[in-house]
Amino acid sequence: MQDIRNIVVLTGAGISAESGIATFRGPGGLWEGHRVEDVCTPEALAADPELVHRFYDLRRAALAGVEPNAAHRALARLDAAWDGDLLIVTQNVDDLHERAGATRMLHMHGELLSALCGVCGRREPWDGALPEGSVCGACGAAALRPDIVFFGEMPYQMERIEAALARADLFVSIGTSGAVYPAAGFVQTAAYHGAQTLELNLDPSMGSVFFEQTRIGAAGVLVPAWVSEVLGD
């Protein structure tokens, strides 16, 4: 790893599935028994805000029953020990990376433990139920919604992500389907700028063809082994 200085890691639902959090699209294209279109679009929020708020309230409450797994802990160890640049970009909305100890990271698709004002755009920490009509602490509007990037909305901090990909010597994708853009295109961006690319996944993703190397297996096994390689253990 002597040629590697700057690393970008992308994590998806597969890394948290081993902690018991359901992957985004389960059997039949459902997420926790709901069509994604019914709970994760601006149109769904407008049509049935009670359903959308209740859905994310349940997901938020469920976080108390799960814990970071070996893959989360390994990335936190990398974060603490790596003296080059590191950015962990997660598509997940849970807080397992943070609870494991990672700090150099961002949630491109939002966070369950956050509320977003639909009027002024302020994001604020939120760890309990978020009923429809909850009031924004900044502007006073009764317009708080789950701080989740819905389909059709722009993911967070794309400029920062693109800049990190352009500087990366190594791009690693962990537990992603390779089906959801723009994240699915990160491997091509990183490779275009000269980065080495590695996929760690339970099964080959839709984007496996774009990676120089793919390792197949459980994240809880593959990620600690890879981190040990990087750190020279």
Return the HEC string of the chain: CCCCCCEEEEECHHHHHCCCCCCCCCHHHEECCEEHHHHCCHHHHHHCHHHHHHHHHHHHHHHHHCCCCHHHHHHHHHHHHCCCCEEEEECCCCCHHHHHCCCCEEECCEEEEEEEECCCCCEEECCCCCCCCCCCCCCCCCCEEEEECCCCCCCCCHHHHHHHHHHCCEEEEECCCCCCCCHHHHHHHHHHCCCEEEEEECCCCCCHHHCCEEEECCHHHHHHHHHHHHHCC
Express each pLDDT in 22-42 by its tens digit. 765 555 544 667 777 889 999
Is residue 49 pLDDT above 70, yes or no? yes
Which range, of 85-89, 93-97, 113-117, 205-209, averages the lowest pLDDT?
A: 205-209
Active site residues per annotation:
109
> Which of the four pLDDT bands, split at 50, 70 and 90, describes residue 207?
confident
Looking at residue 1, its pLDDT comes to 56
Supply the pLDDT for residue 36: 77
Task: Locate 141 and state its tokens.
Answer: 């509007």
**pLDDT bracket for residue 220 (50, 70, 90):** very high
pLDDT greater than 90 at residue 194? yes
- Summarised one tens digit per residue, pLDDT across range 57-87 is 999 999 999 999 999 999 999 999 999 999 9
Q: Can you give the pLDDT at residue 25?
A: 57
Q: What pTM did the predictor assign?
A: 0.94
pLDDT at 175 > cutoff 70: yes
Per-residue pLDDT tens over the stretch 107-138: 999 999 999 999 999 999 999 999 999 999 99
